[in-house]
Amino acid sequence: MPAKYHIHTQPMPPRHKPIGKYGIVDWREDCSACHNCVKRECAYDVYDKERDRLVNALQYVDYLYECKGCLCCVQSCTKGLLTWETNPEYLKLGDEVWTPDIISSTWFQAETGRIPVSGAGYPGPFCGPGFDSILTDMSEIVRPTRDGIHGREYINTQVDIGRKLTALAFNPEGKLALKSPPIVDIPIPAIFGLLPWHKTSPQLLTAILDAAGKLGTYAFVDDSSLFVHDAAIPYVSGEFVPLEARLAVWPDSPDVVRRIEKAKSTNPEMIAIVSLCLNQNAVSRSLELAKAGIDVIHLLADWHGMTVNSDKPKHITHAVREVHLAFVEQGNRDEITIIAGGGIALAEHMAKTIICGADLVSVDVPLMVALECRICKNCQQGLPCPIEIEDVEHDYAVQRVVNLVGAWHNQLLEMMGAMGIREVRRLRGEVGRAMFFDDLERECFEPIFGKRKEL
Ligand code: SF4
Ligand code: SF4
Ligand code: SF4
């Protein structure tokens, strides 16, 4: 049995003080200095871990980065000195899609490489818009051998990128009569996409490429000086031909097929990807490109995970499912690879996008958040970046990205183990392992309560 693919994570502390979610208002002047202070009892060692910072804190309000809000210390302080508050600065992070909780959880994963847990349990609703309208079926969670991370059974997260043969043919001597098209396999169903709004410096891009290389995956790169990097997927414009590249990506255009044919005439082993905006023409255009011989289609939603240039924008999961089903209908889904990107913020989003029909995903904004980006959008307005992202130190950036992907990989293993699936290629389009809230509501609740009124 081959060795399990394992991502080596190691703690990489943040460069800037993280903005914590919960604040403990600590009225220290009345403290009785109890022998067995409740702060020592914190199950998550929050006070201990943050001791250095708390000693130097000048304010009474200490926002604890890792506090899980279990309220034990608040309830047990003999003098009732500790009060739990939500940090107002925390609530200002990100926006309605890139929520403060997503940003904070990404920081935690990039720092520790661990799966985030919540000591206070899950307090939220059981459905919501976008990815939150899909529930995964974890009914196999009781089988310990399939415990994704530590279980005895091997769970494979490797995917192939490239065109595949749909049938084999043999010559009279019994030898394979067809030449297999070039194919690349990667150990995780994710590559790194272009960062959507930020003009990155070569050193930042180099760190992202080095992290991709360390993980055994690839990254789109639009800086031609980095096209030679082993993990680079050159983002090609004009008539440029990436001679050395195993994979290359072209933005969709009317003559993209001609340009790819020309490039392949000099580099026949190259796998060509066409990146197209996920809009209302995505289904017809994808079928057209596949028919013209394109190996891989990259479907790119906007950075909030919605279709672009559309009167009625759809979520990426719905739009990807339409493209996937159109190929299934034609009987040639297995021929091509579909990469989907845009708005993928959490490990569960990766799994849900694959369930909806993608072979793998492209990840972009989370890479910046791993480097402590707060999605403040200052850089879009030409204002200074509060975390000076361009100046990140190389080893720090590589390890933070590796840690994040390590945590995502473990979560994918956990999900697949709980779903009873041992092969991520089998998860593609496996909607039997998901429940769509809209369907549940229509089938279960509508007959009893009637149709939900649109607000
Ligand atoms: S339990 Fe409360 S009063 Fe006692 S030492 Fe801790 S914070 Fe101070
Ligand atoms: S609320 Fe719970 S997790 Fe937070 S510091 Fe107190 S004991 Fe620790
Ligand atoms: S933290 Fe920096 S990189 Fe992130 S959005 Fe703000 S200015 Fe841009």
Quickly list DSSP for 87-99. Answer: -HHHHTSS-SSS-
Please report the pLDDT score of residue 60 as a whole number. 42
Tokens 């009781």 label which residue?
A: 142
Percent of the residues in the chain that have a pLDDT greater than 70, as a whole number: 89
- For residue 24, what are the β-bridge partners? 62, 84
Contact (CB, 8 A) for 263 and 274: no
DSSP state of 453: P
The mean pLDDT of 143-148, rounded to a whole number, is 63
> Of the candidates 9, 200, 27, which has an alpha carbon nearest to the alpha carbon of residue 192?
200
Kindly list the distances between the CA atom of residue 320 and the CA atoms of 144, 254, 311, 382, 412, in Å, as whole numbers in the listed order: 33, 22, 18, 34, 20
Q: For residue 169, how far is its CA from the centre of ligand 1 (angstroms)?
A: 77
The mean pLDDT of 360-367, rounded to a whole number, is 97
> Of the candidates 362, 352, 359, which has an alpha carbon nearest to the alpha carbon of residue 431?
352
Do strands 296-300 and 337-341 pair parallel, antiparallel, or not at all (unpaired)? parallel
Greater confidence, 447 or 276? 276
Give residues (CB < 6 A) around ligand 3: 198, 368, 373-379, 385-387, 389
Has residue 199 got a pLDDT over 50? yes
Greater confidence, 310 or 396? 396
**Residue 146 binned pLDDT confidence (cut-offs 50, 70, 90):** low
Number of neighbours of residue 211 by Cβ within 10 angstroms: 25
Ligand closest to 66 (CA) is 2
- Rounded distance between C-alpha atoms, residue 288 and residue 274, angstroms: 12
The mean pLDDT of 296-310, rounded to a whole number, is 94
Has residue 24 got a pLDDT over 90? no
Which pLDDT tens digit goes with each residue over 399-426?
999 999 999 999 999 899 888 898 999 9
Please report the pLDDT score of residue 59 as a whole number. 45
Contact (CB, 8 A) for 324 and 338: yes
What's the predicted TM-score (pTM) here?
Answer: 0.88
Least confident window among 79-83, 218-222, 294-298: 79-83
- Rounded distance between C-alpha atoms, residue 372 and residue 164, angstroms: 39
Has residue 332 got a pLDDT over 70? yes
Which residue type sits at 199? Answer: K
The mean pLDDT of 200-215, rounded to a whole number, is 93
Contact (CB, 8 A) for 306 and 343: yes
**Residue 6 binned pLDDT confidence (cut-offs 50, 70, 90):** confident
Please report which helix (H) or strand (E) contains residue 46, including its range: helix 46-49
Which pLDDT tens digit goes with each residue over 165-197?
888 889 898 888 888 889 999 999 999 999 876
- For residue 247, what are the β-bridge partners? 271
Please report the pLDDT score of residue 61 as a whole number. 45
Ligand 3 atom with the shortest distance to the CA of 380: 8
Which residue type sits at 398? Answer: V
The mean pLDDT of 23-39, rounded to a whole number, is 79
The mean pLDDT of 338-367, rounded to a whole number, is 97
**What is the chain's alpha carbon radius of gyration, rounded to the nearest angstrom?**
24
Per-residue HEC secondary structure of 141-175 comes to CCCHHHCCCCCCCCCECCEEEECCCCCCCECCCCC
Ligand 1 atom with the shortest distance to the CA of 38: 1
The mean pLDDT of 10-17, rounded to a whole number, is 90
Q: Whose CA is nearest to atom 7 of ligand 3?
A: 385
Alpha helices in 113-255 (DSSP H): 202-215
Give residues (CB < 6 A) around ligand 2: 42, 44, 46, 64, 67-74, 119
- CB under 8 Å to 67, separation ≥6 — which residues? 20, 21, 22, 24, 44, 46
**Residue 120 binned pLDDT confidence (cut-offs 50, 70, 90):** low
Has residue 201 got a pLDDT over 90? no
* Residues in the chain, total: 455
Contact (CB, 8 A) for 113 and 406: yes
**Residue 62 binned pLDDT confidence (cut-offs 50, 70, 90):** low
Q: Whose CA is nearest to atom 8 of ligand 3?
A: 379
Average pLDDT, rounded, for the chain: 88
Has residue 63 got a pLDDT over 60? no
- Rounded distance between C-alpha atoms, residue 277 and residue 35, angstroms: 62
Please report the pLDDT score of residue 138 as a whole number. 81
Has residue 369 got a pLDDT over 50? yes
Q: For residue 108, how far is its CA from the centre of ligand 2 (angstroms)?
A: 16
Please report the pLDDT score of residue 122 as a whole number. 62
Greater confidence, 354 or 88? 354
Q: For residue 40, how far is its CA from the centre of ligand 1 (angstroms)?
A: 10
Alpha helices in 331-393 (DSSP H): 347-355, 365-370
Q: For residue 74, how far is its CA from the centre of ligand 1 (angstroms)?
A: 10
Please report the pLDDT score of residue 226 as a whole number. 93
Please report the pLDDT score of residue 257 as a whole number. 95
Number of neighbours of residue 243 by Cβ within 10 angstroms: 11
Q: For residue 85, how far is its CA from the centre of ligand 2 (angstroms)?
A: 12
> Of the candidates 185, 182, 204, which has an alpha carbon nearest to the alpha carbon of residue 194?
204
Ligand 1 atom with the shortest distance to the CA of 31: 8
Q: Give strand ranges (E) for 354-424.
A: 360-363
Has residue 54 got a pLDDT over 60? no
- Rounded distance between C-alpha atoms, residue 219 and residue 231, angstroms: 6
